[in-house]
Amino acid sequence: MLQLAKRKYPRFSKNCEVRYKVVELEDMPMRGSTVNISGGGLCFRSEENIPMGKMVALEVEIPNAPSSVTAMGKIVWKKNLDDGAFENGIEFWWLGWTGQEPETETQATDQNTQGQTETNAGSEPGRPE
């Protein structure tokens, strides 16, 4: 019987531009492209052979997103490709974004939620006033 691997996060096949820098190795950011991405990590293609276990700083340009996603992650697997390139499996250690638009949207949502919470502060959870 064939068993399917259960994943903690859904994986999306999306080709996005990636700028990356191997922590403690590179001076200049390098470029690659994502093969797939999930909440726990991503797979990206590079021309450089990045050593296993190295920490990598990433910036991922997602089409139609208000800003790019920034991340810090660790190389947990890699695959040599026939054309001399590499696929690198990254486990995320930290995620964020560049620019202020996502932060501004998040703050506005938090303020709206806080106003709703303050309005209902006297009631018990699950009970109408």
69-79: pLDDT as tens digits: 899 999 999 99
Answer with the residue of higher pLDDT: 69 or 7. 69
Q: Residue 84's Cα: distance from chain center in Å?
A: 26
- State the architecture of 11-111 in CATH terms: Beta Barrel (2.40)
What confidence score (pLDDT) does residue 7 get?
A: 66
Give the mean pLDDT of 8-27. 81
Q: State pTM to two decimals.
A: 0.67
What confidence score (pLDDT) does residue 78 get?
A: 96
What confidence score (pLDDT) does residue 128 get?
A: 38
